[in-house]
Every structure is written in C-alpha cells, then in structure tokens.
Amino acid sequence: MQQKKKACGYEGQDAMLFNSIEFLLFFPIVVVIYFAIPQKLKQLWLLLASYYFYMCWNAKYAILILLSTAITYASGLLMEGIKQKKYDAQKEKKLKNWVVVLSFASNLSILFYFKYINFALSTLGGMLHFAHIELNVPTFDIILPVGISFYTFQALSYTMDVYRDEVYAEKNFIRYALFVSFFPQLVAGPIERSKNLLRELAAPKKFNYDAFIEGTLLMLWGYFLKIVIAERIAAFVDKVYGDYYTYDGVYLIVATALFAIQIYCDFAGYSTIAMGAAKILGVQLMENFDAPYLATSVAEFWRRWHISLTSWFKDYLYIPMGGSRKGKARKYLNKIIVFLVSGLWHGAQFSYIAWGGINGLYQVVGEMLQPVRDKLVNRLGLNRNSLAHKMVCMAGTFLLVDFSWIFFRADRFMDALHIIKSILSVHNVWILFDGSLFKCGLDEGNFRLMLLSIFILFLADLCKKKRIEIRKVIMQQDQWARCLILSCSVVLLLVFGKYGPGYDAAKFIYFQF
C-alpha cells in the first residue's frame, strides 16, 4: 500500500504508535499520574496527555483538532441557547438547522481540503482532458493529518445528537475537548458517540484492580492480533502485491485471502488495545468488531465489521436520507450511496470508491434475491440452522468480501483490475505444494506460525460468536493464575511478535484514514 500511504500525516514524524517503545513508556506514566492526582484535575490531565499523544505525530495539526472541537462545542451551546429562547417550533427548527449546516460545512470543508482537494482537482482535470479541454490543474503538497476522518465524524455526531435532543449541550469545554481527543481512540477509533463517551468521562473513576487486569488482557490480545498475526501476514502480502506481475495467479489468491485476515487483525488489534487502555483508565469504549468473518451474509458482515463507523453512517446518513421509509427503490439507492460515501471516507481514490460500491451492490442484490433463495432452500429441504449450511454461507460471504478487498489493497483501481485478471487465469497451482510460498517474505517456520495464529484467532472468534468471553473466564480465576496468564502472554508476544523491518514498530493500516 505504498502509494496510499504517502499522504499519511505520520510520515517523517516521531509517531506515538501503540506498538512502540514510546507508547509503552507514555501510557504507564499517564495511568500513574491520573490515579495519583486529585479528582478535579483528572480530566485536564487526560486532555493534556491526549494532545501530547497527537502532537507526537505532527504538532501543528493539533490546531485542527482544537478548531473542530471549538466549532462543534459552540454549535452545541448555540442550539441549547436557541431552545431556551422559547421560539415557536418552526423558527427554532430553522435556527437549529442553520447551526447544524454551519457546523457540518466548516468541519467537512477542513476534511475536504486536507484529504480530498488533490483528488477532486485531478478528477476534474481528467474529465476536462476527456472533453479535449486542457487545463493546468494545480497540486497541493499536503500531509494528511492522521485520524482526521475519525475525530471529525466523532465531533459531528455530537452536533447531531444535540440537534436531536439526544444529549444536552456540554458546557464544560475541557470535558468536551477530551471527548473529541481522548487518546486511546483518537486516531483510529472506535468512533464514539457523545451519549456514551461524554457520560464515561463525566465522572473520573478511581483505580480498580479488576479493571486494570481486564484492560491489560484486552491490550495483550490486541498486540497479539497486530504484531503476531497482522505484521507476519503483511510481510507476505506486501511482497506479492508489491510485484504482482511476478507473483501472479495462486500467489495473489493466497495474498488476497491473507490480506482479509491482515486488515481485520490490524484494525481490530488497534481497537482492542484502545478498549484495553481506556478500560484501565475507567472508561468503557464500544466494541468495534464482532467476529465478522463468521458472518453468514454480507449484510451480517457489515453489522459485525467496524461497527462504530457502520452505525454512524446508518444513524447520520442512511436514516436522514429516508432509510427504508420511501419504498424499495429509494432504499436500495440509499444503501448504494452510503457505501460509496463509506469508500470515499476511507480514501481519496477510485479504488476505495469501487470497494464501497461493490459492498453496496452485495447488499442490494442480496436483498433482492432473498425471496429466490428462500424458495430454493424450501424446495431443496435445506436446514438453515445446520452446521454445513452455515459453513457454506460463511465461505460464500468470505469470498465475496475478500474479492472486494482487492480494490481496497491495490494501490490503484487499474492495479486491482490487473490483479483480478491474474487471479482468474490461474496456472501455477503447484506452488501450494513445492515450497514457493515460503519465499514470499516469510520462511517456512514463520508461515506455519502465521497459520497457527490464524487458527487461534478463529477459535477466539468462535467463542465470541457463542458469547463465551475468554477474558471473563480468566478474570474468574485465582490471582496467581491471572498473573501467570499475563506473564506468559507477555513472553509469547516478545518471542513471536514481528515488529516490522529492522524490528521497528509497524504502522496500523487505518491510521491513514
């Protein structure tokens, strides 16, 4: 993903990565001071820590978070003031609408400039060239602020929640600024709602030993997903996708299947570490992933994948556009629009838009074919609750989702088409058996360890789907047993973790969004 990463705000910065030595020093210091200082200073301390965390990426871009915070904070107070003026319902709604429009327009304008301006100008230039109109389109040298899409959407959700009277306008600026910038989930989510996170931050907690152990378990599991699985897979996938003309056919099939696991472990790893870090601080963040690859349909997959973003688009885009209330045709159109916007949210490239559009089409076509599938199941006498039927549905869902990941992973849209063409013209099946796969960034030992780790992930997700919480089981054990599990987990991470080229901390994929 080299070309897609060039615009990331973390390039050239002393980044505070979760899997870096800097963070492993920073976080304990934050925790110790947080629980040592008086209650009235805790929110301010977390706010200062959060801004320091972000400024380690690019100090000057902290101004953007502060600006977004100030705009949305003021919008909440303005709407609260309008409600207290006791205007008639029509005038009150009109004034509140203007506040929302101004809040969204200003925040989205900032996001557009930093993330989409070059894409928009190059697209315009291409369209004019196609129409035989030559125009010298400028290109801006912009470094994308890390996490800008995440904190912008989180701040805008607050504006909408106040508009809908779902929360009161927050009058404490420090608490609200902390809501927007809370460092565990600042740069890659989950995208929290004001109804949850503002309430969690309102009453700082005292140190809780059980919360500390549970949070540490979450963090260790997140590190396992990232440095044991995701980074090991990345070595293989980057090698193959980086030279897909050489590594064609089955190489690309294997790399594409593995990328589906890589991006899951990379992103879920970050979210899980964020949940664990917040848990230690006494803050409960929402679950962002729920065993997505055990879904039996694409619609179910999207209810389990990046839950915070999926629900954001549902609540703040799909439903306001009419949702399913205006007939089937409008419902299908709304779904396509939401997924196209979701693709654009991920990045300013046509490959991302294609990825979003494909997943939108999956949902629409799947719903349109539901009656046909129901009749077919009845005529064949199939049992939808049988293990065999569920496994077939899971495999089919994985294939569909994995196909769309090609567009997400490829550097450009045309690269994705070349990769698909290569996959469809398979001619080198023998590489599965002659050891050729062990020459693609991973030796045989690391390749087998990767497969074992994926199997462990599958078992963990299977437990999650059956609502068996492994960490709750661990928490029920004696203290010596919990300490032993924690110690062994740390040792295993140190022994089997892969930290990237030269053992440097490797970046999380979703930091570029």
Which residue numbers are catalytic? 346
Q: What angle do CA 12, 23, 476 make, to 5 degrees?
A: 145
Tokens for 182, please give them.
Answer: 């809370």
Among 227, 232, 236, 231, smallest CA distance to 438 is for: 236
Give 486's contacts (C-beta < 8 A, 6+ positions apart): 213, 216, 217, 220
CA-CA distances (angstroms) from residue 425 to 151, 252, 336, 419, 422? 43, 11, 30, 10, 5
The residue written with tokens 């972000």 in the block is: 54
Phi, psi (deg, nearest 5) at residue 299: -60, -45
Whole-angstrom distance, CA of residue 337 vs CA of residue 334: 5
Other beta carbons less than 10 A from residue 2's beta carbon: 9
Alpha carbon distance, N-terminus to C-terminus of the chain: 13
Q: Name the DSSP letter for residue 315.
A: I
> CB–CB of 268/224 below 8 Å?
no
Among 160, 66, 152, smallest CA distance to 115 is for: 152
> CB–CB of 170/176 below 8 Å?
yes
Using CB atoms within 10 Å of the CB of residue 229, give its burial: 0 to 12 exposed, 13 to 18 middle, 19+ buried: buried
Residue 486: what residue type? L
Whole-angstrom distance, CA of residue 161 vs CA of residue 156: 9
Give 346's contacts (C-beta < 8 A, 6+ positions apart): 352, 355, 356, 408, 513
Give 55's contacts (C-beta < 8 A, 6+ positions apart): 62
Positions of E strands within 204-297: none
> CB–CB of 508/18 below 8 Å?
yes
Tokens for 445, please give them.
Answer: 């030992």
Whole-angstrom distance, CA of residue 446 vs CA of residue 226: 15
Whole-angstrom distance, CA of residue 32 vs CA of residue 281: 10
**In angstroms, how far apart are the furthest CA atoms of the chain?**
78
Among 341, 302, 304, smallest CA distance to 320 is for: 341
